[in-house]
Amino acid sequence: KQEVTQIPAALSVPEGENLVLNCSFTDSAIYNLQWFRQDPGKGLTSLLLIQSSQREQTSGRLNASLDKSSGRSTLYIAASQPGDSATYLCAVRPWGTGGFKTIFGAGTRPFVKA
């Protein structure tokens, strides 16, 4: 059974430092992995989608890597800003299960101190 874990649940960094957010999953049989941002009381905003055949994706200050063999993905946010404070969720789309389920981690909530 696929499980997605994000540790730590929360962290604090000073403004300007790079943010490093971790995601691990137990089964490497995935179609893709997606990173989302969620602000309090809001829905999810898609940040990056990494297909199974890809090793990384980049968008502006964001970079996400994918290592299927070790079951890990890392989201890097360069030069963090107070506005980056939110909850970041990763999600995997398993294949081979016959279903259409996407499995989410519980999220990591960084606080960027001005």
Residues that bind other proteins (CB under 8 A): 4, 31-32, 34, 36, 41-46, 49, 89, 91, 93, 95, 99-107
Q: Give the DSSP letter of residue 18.
A: P
The minimum distance between CB 67 and other proteins, in angstroms, equals 19
What is the bridge-based pairing of β-strands 4-5 and 10-14?
unpaired
The minimum distance between CB 92 and other proteins, in angstroms, equals 11
Which CB sits closer to other proteins, 18 or 45?
A: 45
| Secondary structure percentages of the chain, helix, strand, coil, to 5 | 5, 55, 40
Coil, helix or strand at residue 82: helix
φ, ψ (nearest 5 deg) of residue 82: -55, -30
CA dist 112 and 88 (Å) reads 13
What is the bridge-based pairing of β-strands 44-51 and 19-25?
unpaired
Which CB sits closer to other proteins, 76 or 104?
A: 104
Which CB sits closer to other proteins, 15 or 55?
A: 55
Which CB sits closer to other proteins, 77 or 92?
A: 92
The minimum distance between CB 49 and other proteins, in angstroms, equals 5
The minimum distance between CB 90 and other proteins, in angstroms, equals 9
